Amino acid sequence: MSDRKPRTPADTAGDDIGVVDNPWQGLRAFTDARIGLGRAGISLPTQRMLEFQLAHAQARDAVHWPLNVDALSEQLTDTLGIDAPLRLHSQAGDRTEYLQRPDLGRRLDEHSRKSLQETVDAEDSPFDLALVIVDGLSARAIEAHAVTFLAALSRELDADDNDWRRAPLTVVEQGRVAIGDEVGEAFNARAVLVLIGERPGLSSPDSLGLYLTWAPKRGVSDGQRNCISNVRPEGLKIEVAASRARYLLNEARRLELSGVKLKDRSEDDVIDHDKNETGNFLTY
């Protein structure tokens, strides 16, 4: 007889007993996408199912996560060496109303409009750029990446030949992308860059989005914006996003436009040819 003791459930908890590997499993090292998960019988392995349920719960929690504006303001002040940002609020009174009424998240409430106007009156406008932080659908993204991104963007702009005169920083609670247009218009800014928490995905509950609008004003359409999305360590790196934002800002300033007519060619090898020539440029 063998002296081996029978294995208990606790001994086998980490084993993938009965799991049939998927040949694509090796690709999981290169992506967060749920591929190559294997199977146990006709179902997903228990571990993979639990991972999915955890990711789903994290995404749902991110939508309802309240932005800690006081802590964020302290971090911004300490890291960037600036005055505390102006705290604003949309017309959505709470999170439930915000989720049910997207239109209310696009406009400032009356108190915020008055506070913003008082700040504008005390400043020597116009400005070249207004930076607006908005909680959006993931305050976790703002808390995790906004300060780091703004520090990287400041380095990019400070090293740039163009002089970007920046308006006082603002933080908006219960806001949508378009609320940045109202802030930028109040500051009489030539451009506005909105940092907003994007809709959480099952592998990205803390994804930061950047939205650039030239000549911001209320009523601007989404087609007049440029977007840089999935800014986070596991997605588009902070430093790369800051470099792309600087490129788009400079191009918007040069062309005096943004949106579908402004292309991000920061990583392109552009093929040029004599515009007076005729025929297919692929033949040259």
The CATH number that applies at residue 231 is: 3.40.50.11240
pLDDT of residue 17: 62
Specify if 271 maps to a domain: no
Specify if 74 maps to a domain: yes
Predicted confidence (pLDDT) per residue in 130-149, tens digit:
999 999 999 999 999 999 99
The domain tally of the chain equals: 1
Contact 238, 252 (CB under 8 A): no
Specify if 190 maps to a domain: yes
Structural domain containing residue 236: 67-255
Specify if 34 maps to a domain: no
List the pLDDT tens digit at each of the 284 positions of the chain: 445 455 454 444 444 566 777 777 777 778 777 878 888 888 888 888 898 899 889 888 889 989 999 999 999 999 999 999 999 999 999 999 999 999 999 999 999 999 999 999 998 878 999 999 999 999 999 999 999 999 999 999 998 878 899 999 999 999 999 999 999 999 999 999 999 999 998 888 899 999 999 999 999 999 999 999 999 998 999 999 999 999 999 999 999 999 999 988 776 654 444 444 444 434 33
Specify if 223 maps to a domain: yes
pTM of the predicted model as reported, rounded to 2 decimal places: 0.82
pLDDT of residue 219: 92
pLDDT of residue 152: 97
Specify if 32 maps to a domain: no
Specify if 249 maps to a domain: yes
pLDDT of residue 138: 95
pLDDT of residue 5: 54
Rounded to the nearest integer, the mean pLDDT of the chain is 87
- Beta-carbon contacts of 35 under 8 Å, excluding residues fewer than 6 positions away, are 22, 24, 27, 28
Specify if 189 maps to a domain: yes
